A and B are shown apart, each in its own frame.
Chain A
Amino acid sequence: MNALKKIQYNCNKATFLIEKRMLDKITLRERVELYIHLITCLPCRLFAEQSQNINQMVKQLFQKPVVKLGEDEKQQMHTLIEQEIDKEKK
């Protein structure tokens, strides 16, 4: 396989670079390789778009309060804290 074919064929490497590029720097050579790959590879272009949106959705998911403590659990925590504060005072 010649060099260009190798780049065009390697979706494993392309997706690796897509991920790295979103979080860090990739080298000039890597940028060129990725660019060439994406021109001809629709699945990897889709991957890149989806991946970016997944990052956003994950972030959003973690910002939402999903669970709450029960009132009695809170009461218990509160009591324990008060006991601890009293201990410190002595």
Chain B
Amino acid sequence: MPPNTPPLNPHKWVENHADYLFSFAFTRLNDEELARDLVQDTFFAALKRMDAFEGKSTERTWLTAILKYKIIDCYRKRSSDLKVSLREVNEPVFFEEEGHWTVEQRPTAFGIETDARINEKEFNNVLQGCMQKLPPLWLSVFTMKHVDEELTDTICAELKISASNFWVIIHRAKVNLRACLQKNWL
């Protein structure tokens, strides 16, 4: 290890990072038990890999990167367990055959047009509920792209989907999410 590498201190990992990692995993998987197991696994994996730590990132970033791999593994498992084709997903009819919005599903204003309702607890609860209604594969794609800002190619490779399916999922996830917000927030 080069002398200026900030050292890893596994004796302090739980104290310094466990809550952060737990919350990181929980928001992405919505399963407390699974999130807890992944944090523990991450610490174990990190102990085995301490030699590989180059000090290019902080201890927390390094641990988070290990956790991310484990989360993607879960995404993969979930989406193959529930391999529903795009056609089978149960969703409202948003568009007429020619592509026009159906009357029931047409977007209307409901208070998030001009400003994002950041930090509003009740709105966040609705948002969280609506995200959890998306099929697992869609939610994984959506989160990897919008929150973790992964490259499209990476997401397609990790989750074994084609680029054209990726864009269909990105589109339909948003159409469903927006409709759910309009319905439950108004």
Residues of A within 8 A of B (CB): 1, 6, 9-16, 19-20, 23-24, 43-44, 46-47, 49-51, 53-62, 65-69, 73-74, 77-78, 80-82, 84-85, 88
Contact = CB atoms under 8 A, between A and B. Distances in A.
Contacts of B36: 69, 73
Nearest to B13: A81
Which A-B residue pairs are the 8 nearest by beta carbons?
A10-B99, A12-B99, A53-B116, A65-B23, A12-B95, A78-B14, A56-B116, A46-B107
A77 B11 CA distance: 11
Contacts, number: 144
Contacts of A9: 98-100
A30 to B, nearest CB: 12
Interface stretch (B58-66, B76-84, B120-128): B120-128
15 contacts: A9-B98, A9-B100, A20-B170, A43-B101, A53-B113, A53-B115, A53-B117, A58-B147, A60-B116, A65-B23, A67-B22, A67-B35, A73-B36, A81-B10, A81-B43
B32 interface: yes
Contact of A57 (B13, B95, B116, B145): B116
B131 A58 contact: yes
A55 B115 CA distance: 12
B112 A23 contact: no
B71 interface: no
A88 B7 CA distance: 18
A84 B40 CA distance: 12
A6 B117 CA distance: 35
Given A20-B167, A58-B146, 4 more contacts: A44-B101, A58-B127, A69-B39, A77-B43
